[in-house]
């Protein structure tokens, strides 16, 4: 089957390559000509473990190609996936301009029956909007509109796509369901749960899932704060909670607040969606406030441990919003950098993948070669993102490079007792 993937970003590129791996003929389209030129010459424009191999394998097999020619992609394909960005507007509502543009292009260029599949995270009602555009602007050809939300996580996107917990197919007609089942047939054979539902419910599943995960993160961050006030250890509390099967241990790791391109945007979108229906989604509203407060609290934690930061040099390890990605969208590490700069500190930083993306936003930061170069001459060290290579740092070498043995570990990578025994002034999150 021929598939057109419109939008070749974190989701579109992984999904396109993954579907090609399932045996589909996939053309990935993007309006960013530079990105497409890079992909055509074998350069993967994002950092995502394992992505280069799956792209190369499927390109070699002739099942995956890249183009800016949206018209050709639409004409040649039965299924057209929309995987463009849906960034937040200032009021929290998602900007659907790109989705609308693609729907209009599909209406203009469709030359027969098409299954239009929304992969982007969109508010409920978007499927109806796409349907209306296709009906009004095309008029001749039949089509189906499907919601097929994506749950992959950056950093493990390839394996998440190839082995998902579930596949959600929201469709209002059986013909479209059959097309989607054929596309995902390798997962069907692996007995991956398929949830077939209507379009609106599928759209809401994605928002409700991300909203719930954001609540879970904010909940443990609140517990961590309480632990700090009471002298308890958040890791013991989280473990005790997580052993209860009704709660589960995942997403109970305290930190400097959630970030990334999904949770902040999707919580704001759920809240906005509810408000538009005249309903206040109180738990989500509280979660957004808790997350903002959690992020804002980090600079005070740094100053409590290291002393006033004005005029001093901070070494910050990690800039991406989580390890194994170069994505810095809404990264809590960057809000730490911004708060340090605002408070008068100068910042040295190192990240294994995200420095190129950060440079334009924070030109005044000194970008280091590695963790040790980052620490060289700094007054204190902040671990802001838990890349694996920061888990086994040579602490005595670091101590020799820093002006004082001070570490603020916003990801609880190190053991507080061991650090204090080794003479460090150390603070983590939610630990005595
Ligand atoms: N990143 C994630 O982890 C993740 C996970 C699940 C769902 N999502 C959702 O998937 C969607 C895409 O996210 P992303 O992170 O891949 O975004 P991204 O910004 O990395 O990629 C979007 C791509 O779409 C392209 N684009 C925009 N308009 C276009 C048009 N008219 N024609 C062709 N290309 C166009 C852009 O140039 C860009 O390359 C969003 O709705 C997001 O919420 C993201």
Please name the residue that has the structure tokens 């970030």.
Answer: 259
- Indicate if ligand 1 lies below 6 Å from the C-beta of 27: no
pLDDT of residue 374: 98
Nearest ligand 1 atom, CA 84: 24
Percentage of the chain beyond pLDDT 70 is 100
**Pocket probe mutation, ligand 1, options 85, 127, 150, max atoms within 8 Å of Cβ:** 85
pLDDT in tens, 73-83: 999 999 999 99
What residues contact residue 250 under an 8 Å CB cut-off, 6+ apart? Answer: 242
In this structure, the residue with its CA closest to atom 39 of ligand 1 is 9
CA distance 288 to 283: 9
Q: Which residues are catalytic?
A: 262
- Indicate if ligand 1 lies below 6 Å from the C-beta of 14: no
**Pocket probe mutation, ligand 1, options 10, 154, 158, max atoms within 8 Å of Cβ:** 10
In this structure, the residue with its CA closest to atom 44 of ligand 1 is 11
**Rg, C-alpha atoms of the chain:** 23
CA distance 192 to 211: 23
Average pLDDT over residues 291-306: 98
pLDDT in tens, 137-146: 987 899 999 9
pLDDT of residue 119: 98
- Indicate if ligand 1 lies below 6 Å from the C-beta of 15: no
pLDDT of residue 188: 86
In this structure, the residue with its CA closest to atom 37 of ligand 1 is 32
> 82 C-alpha vs ligand 1 centroid, how far in Å?
9
- Indicate if ligand 1 lies below 6 Å from the C-beta of 326: no
**What is the largest distance, in Å, between two alpha-carbon atoms of the chain?**
75
What residues contact residue 43 under an 8 Å CB cut-off, 6+ apart? Answer: none
- Indicate if ligand 1 lies below 6 Å from the C-beta of 83: yes
pLDDT of residue 408: 98
Res. 121: pLDDT tops 90: yes
pLDDT in tens, 9-56: 999 999 999 999 999 999 999 999 999 999 999 999 999 999 999 999
- Indicate if ligand 1 lies below 6 Å from the C-beta of 121: yes
> pTM to 2 decimals?
0.95
> 361 C-alpha vs ligand 1 centroid, how far in Å?
20
**Pocket probe mutation, ligand 1, options 83, 101, 124, 153, max atoms within 8 Å of Cβ:** 83
Nearest CA-CA partner of 161 in 326, 21, 322, 5: 21
> 99 C-alpha vs ligand 1 centroid, how far in Å?
10
Nearest CA-CA partner of 7 in 58, 61, 45, 43: 45
> 15 C-alpha vs ligand 1 centroid, how far in Å?
11
Beta strand pairing call for 143-147 and 167-171: antiparallel
Proportion of the chain in helix, strand, coil states, percent, rounded to 5: 45, 15, 40
Question: What average pLDDT does the chain have?
Answer: 97
In this structure, the residue with its CA closest to atom 13 of ligand 1 is 85
pLDDT in tens, 262-277: 999 999 999 999 999 9
- Indicate if ligand 1 lies below 6 Å from the C-beta of 85: yes
Average pLDDT over residues 94-121: 97
Beta strand pairing call for 425-427 and 406-409: parallel
pLDDT of residue 189: 86
Direct distance between the N- and C-terminal alpha carbons of the chain, in angstroms, rounded to an integer: 58
> 318 C-alpha vs ligand 1 centroid, how far in Å?
24
Sign of the alpha-carbon torsion through 364, 367, 371, 372:
negative
CA distance 145 to 131: 6
Beta strand pairing call for 313-317 and 366-367: unpaired
Torsion of CA 382, 388, 390, 394, to 10 degrees: 160
pLDDT in tens, 307-366: 999 999 999 999 999 999 999 999 999 999 999 999 999 999 999 999 999 999 999 999
Other CB atoms within a 10 A radius of the CB of residue 239 amount to 12
Contact 379, 406 (CB under 8 A): yes
Long-range contacts of 207-211 (CB under 8 A, 24+ apart): 207/121, 207/123, 207/124, 207/266, 207/269, 207/270, 207/273, 208/270, 209/151, 210/121, 210/262, 210/263, 210/266, 210/267, 210/270, 211/266, 211/267, 211/270, 211/281, 211/283, 211/284, 211/287
CA distance 188 to 364: 51
pLDDT in tens, 173-213: 999 999 999 999 999 889 999 999 999 999 999 999 999 99
Nearest CA-CA partner of 138 in 110, 117, 116: 110
């Amino acid at each position: 089957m021929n598939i057109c993937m419109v939008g070749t970003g974190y989701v579109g590129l992984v999904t396109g390559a993954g579907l090609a791996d399932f045996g589909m003929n996939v053309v990935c389209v993007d309006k960013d000509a530079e990105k497409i030129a890079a992909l055509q010459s074998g350069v993967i424009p994002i950092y995502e473990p394992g992505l280069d191999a799956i792209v190369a394998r499927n390109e070699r097999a002739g099942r995956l190609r890249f183009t800016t020619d949206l018209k050709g992609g639409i004409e040649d394909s039965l299924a057209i996936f929309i995987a463009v960005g849906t960034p937040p507007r200032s009021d929290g509502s998602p900007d659907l301009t790109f989705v609308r543009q693609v729907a209009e292009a599909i209406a203009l260029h469709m030359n027969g029956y098409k299954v239009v599949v929304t992969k982007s995270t969109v508010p409920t009602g978007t499927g109806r909007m796409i349907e209306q555009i296709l009906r009004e602007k095309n008029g001749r050809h039949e089509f189906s509109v499907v919601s097929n939300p994506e749950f992959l996580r950056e950093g493990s996107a390839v394996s998440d796509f190839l082995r998902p917990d579930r596949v959600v197919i929201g469709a209002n007609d059986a013909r479209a369901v059959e097309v989607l089942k054929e596309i995902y047939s390798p997962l069907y054979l692996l007995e991956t749960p398929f949830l077939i539902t209507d379009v609106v419910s599928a759209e809401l599943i994605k928002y409700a899932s991300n909203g719930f995960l954001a609540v879970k993160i904010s909940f443990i961050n609140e517990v961590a704060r309480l632990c700090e006030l009471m002298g308890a250890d958040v890791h013991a509390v989280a473990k005790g909670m997580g052993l209860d099967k009704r709660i589960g241990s995942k997403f109970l790791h305290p930190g400097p607040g959630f970030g990334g391109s999904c949770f902040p945007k999707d919580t704001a979108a759920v809240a906005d969606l509810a408000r538009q229906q005249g309903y206040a989604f109180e738990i989500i509203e509280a979660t957004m406030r808790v997350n903002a407060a959690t992020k804002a609290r980090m600079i005070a934690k740094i100053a409590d441990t290291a002393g006033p930061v004005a005029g001093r040099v901070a070494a910050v390890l990690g800039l991406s919003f989580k390890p194994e990605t170069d994505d810095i969208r809404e990264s809590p590490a960057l809000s730490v950098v911004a708060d340090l700069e605002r408070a008068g500190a100068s910042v040295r930083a190192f990240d294994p993948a995200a420095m190129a993306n950060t440079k334009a936003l924070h030109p005044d930061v000194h970008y280091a070669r590695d963790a040790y170069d980052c620490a060289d001459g700094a007054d204190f060290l902040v671990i802001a993102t838990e890349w694996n290579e920061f888990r086994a740092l040579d602490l005595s070498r670091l101590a020799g490079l820093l002006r004082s043995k001070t570490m603020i570990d916003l990801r609880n990578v190190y053991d507080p007792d061991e650090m204090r025994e080794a003479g460090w002034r150390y603070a983590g999150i939610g630990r005595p």
